């Protein structure tokens, strides 16, 4: 028997309200809204107007504005902010008849790699090590609520955003598929801004094919985002269903053999090469000589843009306001109380690298590096069609394991180059390590 959309929504809501609470994967759940959307989907189906996503519950990272839903971005600053309109991505999902399953937890303003910076608390991965350890593991970040929700089967589909790995790394940590589209493929309209030249919405699902279906719904030109690409959206799902990679050249970047990468990941990387060869592809060694500068350049560019974007949270227009004796004190009180430690660190770094005396030494240099990194990729793609690399240098780690911010930033080493170059990138689960954790 074909289940109705209401039955499907009811099933997943029940999991969200039980397991989802344990994992702290959601910030907002609204059964009434979700069930009303499911009823509307059932009406579309009855009218013969259903598309592939009609009635499918989709959880949205709490960075997407969704009309009348809380949109907190994981921050105290926006803890009570109700979006007055839908993000373009949300509009597209609604138009496809998808059902919003809730808003997922995330690192504050999408800054983090473990979901430990959320004002609403850590998100827990449903995975455990198989060595008897009961330590809770990070689901990756910043879209950890979405990754944890898919891995725990709280919903079949979710959205995220990726600025420097926030879709790919959480997908890798919980063994699901996640796509960071080409910059400009999905509109940033209605997405709370972190680093505008890097931010890109994308999907999470259990399989690549499901992710492709979601991407097809999310993608498309939006005149309200001047960086949105005016390009037709190909049939991603059809391509995923008929994967023919015979004759494809898969580049293996020499510089991604980075010290400190888990040996199991290096071994699985070789297995991946063998899998692709067995399917008819051929591997070629390529060089991306500026790789080692990508991480430092990212951690200048992203904070610089964040410091500028987050200047809007001033207690005047929307979000938190903490009064003071005059305007300046009100700003200080509001921003001091509303932003967590990591966000404040990024704002400080960003304003520093943009300040008059340091702009040329840091921000301008980082922008130059960014061009060189993009050029590295263009040159590599003269020799190959795609690249195969690890997503992260380690499997999921326990909370508190990377208390030093630099150690946390290092986890993004393989993710940020594609972001700086605006390239698409996808995480595909490829195996488990000795402790039974996904890689």
Residues of this chain that bind ligand GLN (CB under 6 A): 110-113, 142, 162-166, 194, 302, 412
Q: Active-site residue among 28, 75, 118, 142?
A: 142
Residue 408 vs 437, nearer CB to ligand GLN: 408
First to last CA, the chain: 36
CA dihedral (16, 189, 87, 300) in degrees, to 10, reads 20
166 noted as active-site residue:
yes
Residues 6+ apart with CB under 8 A from 61: 103, 104, 106, 143, 145, 146, 158, 159, 160, 161
The nearest distance, CB 162 to ligand GLN, in angstroms, is 5
CA dihedral (407, 413, 418, 419) in degrees, to 10, reads 10
The nearest distance, CB 115 to ligand GLN, in angstroms, is 10
Residue found by looking up tokens 């030093």 in the block: 404
- Rounded Cα distance between 253 and 264, Å, is 18
The nearest distance, CB 315 to ligand GLN, in angstroms, is 25
Beta-carbon count within 10 A of 324 CB: 14
- Rounded Cα distance between 193 and 212, Å, is 24
Exposed e or buried b per residue across 253-270, where buried means at least 16 C-beta atoms within 10 angstroms of its C-beta = bebbeeeebbebbeebbe
Burial class (CB in 10 A: 0-12, 13-18, 19+), 8: buried
Residue 302 vs 426, nearer CB to ligand GLN: 302
The nearest distance, CB 198 to ligand GLN, in angstroms, is 7
- Rounded Cα distance between 187 and 233, Å, is 13
The nearest distance, CB 114 to ligand GLN, in angstroms, is 9
R_g (Cα) of the chain, nearest Å: 21
Q: Active-site residue among 61, 103, 180, 402?
A: 61
What letter would DSSP give residue 75? -
Beta-carbon count within 10 A of 364 CB: 13
What letter would DSSP give residue 312? G
The nearest distance, CB 206 to ligand GLN, in angstroms, is 21
The nearest distance, CB 384 to ligand GLN, in angstroms, is 25
Q: Active-site residue among 166, 177, 307, 427?
A: 166
The nearest distance, CB 236 to ligand GLN, in angstroms, is 21
Q: Is the torsion defined by CA of 379, 382, 383, 386 positive or negative? A: positive
Which position's Cβ is nearest ligand GLN?
Answer: 166
427 noted as active-site residue:
no
- Rounded Cα distance between 99 and 34, Å, is 6
394 noted as active-site residue:
no
Residues 6+ apart with CB under 8 A from 198: 163, 164, 183, 298, 301, 302, 305, 419, 420
Residue 30 vs 162, nearer CB to ligand GLN: 162
Residues 6+ apart with CB under 8 A from 103: 26, 27, 28, 59, 60, 61, 62, 64, 66, 69, 70, 71, 72
Residue 144 vs 251, nearer CB to ligand GLN: 144
Which structure tokens are listed for 163? 């600025």
Active site residues: 61, 142, 166
């Amino acid at each position: 028997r074909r289940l109705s959309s209401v039955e499907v929504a009811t099933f997943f809501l029940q999991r969200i309200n039980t397991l989802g609470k344990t994992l702290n994967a959601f910030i907002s759940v609204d059964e009434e809204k979700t069930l009303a959307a499911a009823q509307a989907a059932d009406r579309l189906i009855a009218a013969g107007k259903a598309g592939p996503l009609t009635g499918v519950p989709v959880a949205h990272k709490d960075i997407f504005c969704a009309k009348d839903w809380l949109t907190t971005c994981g921050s105290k600053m926006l803890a009570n902010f109700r979006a007055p309109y839908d993000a373009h991505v949300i509009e597209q999902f609604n138009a496809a008849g998808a059902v919003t399953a809730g808003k997922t937890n995330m690192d504050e303003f999408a800054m983090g790699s473990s979901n430990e910076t959320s004002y609403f608390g850590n998100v827990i991965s449903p995975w455990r090590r198989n060595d008897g350890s009961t330590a809770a593991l990070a689901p990756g970040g910043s879209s950890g609520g979405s990754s944890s929700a898919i891995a725990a089967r709280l919903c079949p589909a979710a959205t995220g955003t990726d600025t420097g790995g926030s879709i790919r790394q959480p997908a890798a940590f919980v063994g699901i598929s996640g796509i960071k589209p080409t910059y400009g493929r999905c509109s940033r309209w209605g997405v709370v801004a972190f680093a505008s030249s890097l931010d890109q919405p994308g999907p999470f699902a259990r399989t690549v094919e499901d992710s492709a279906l979601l991407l097809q719904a999310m993608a498309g030109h939006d005149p309200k985002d001047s960086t949105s690409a005016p390009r037709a959206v190909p049939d991603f799902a059809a391509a995923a269903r008929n994967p023919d990679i015979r004759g494809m050249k898969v580049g293996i970047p020499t510089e991604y053999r980075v010290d400190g990468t888990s040996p199991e990941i290096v071994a699985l990387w070789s297995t991946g090469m063998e899998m692709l060869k067995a399917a008819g592809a051929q591997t070629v060694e390529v060089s991306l000589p500026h790789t080692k500068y990508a991480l430092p350049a990212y951690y200048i560019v992203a904070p610089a843009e964040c410091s500028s974007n987050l200047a809007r949270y001033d207690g005047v227009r929307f979000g938190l306001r903490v009064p003071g004796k005059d305007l300046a004190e009100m700003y200080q009180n509001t921003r001091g109380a509303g932003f967590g430690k990591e966000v404040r660190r990024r704002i400080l770094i960003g304003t520093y690298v943009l300040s008059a005396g340091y702009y040329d030494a840091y921000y301008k240099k980082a922008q130059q590096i960014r061009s060189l990194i993009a050029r590295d990729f263009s040159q590599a793609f003269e020799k190959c069609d795609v690249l195969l690399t690890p997503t992260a240098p380690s499997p999921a780690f326990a909370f508190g394991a990377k208390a030093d911010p630099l150690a946390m930033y290092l986890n993004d080493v393989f993710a940020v180059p594609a972001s700086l170059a605006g390239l698409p990138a996808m995480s595909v689960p490829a195996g488990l390590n000795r402790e039974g954790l996904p890689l």
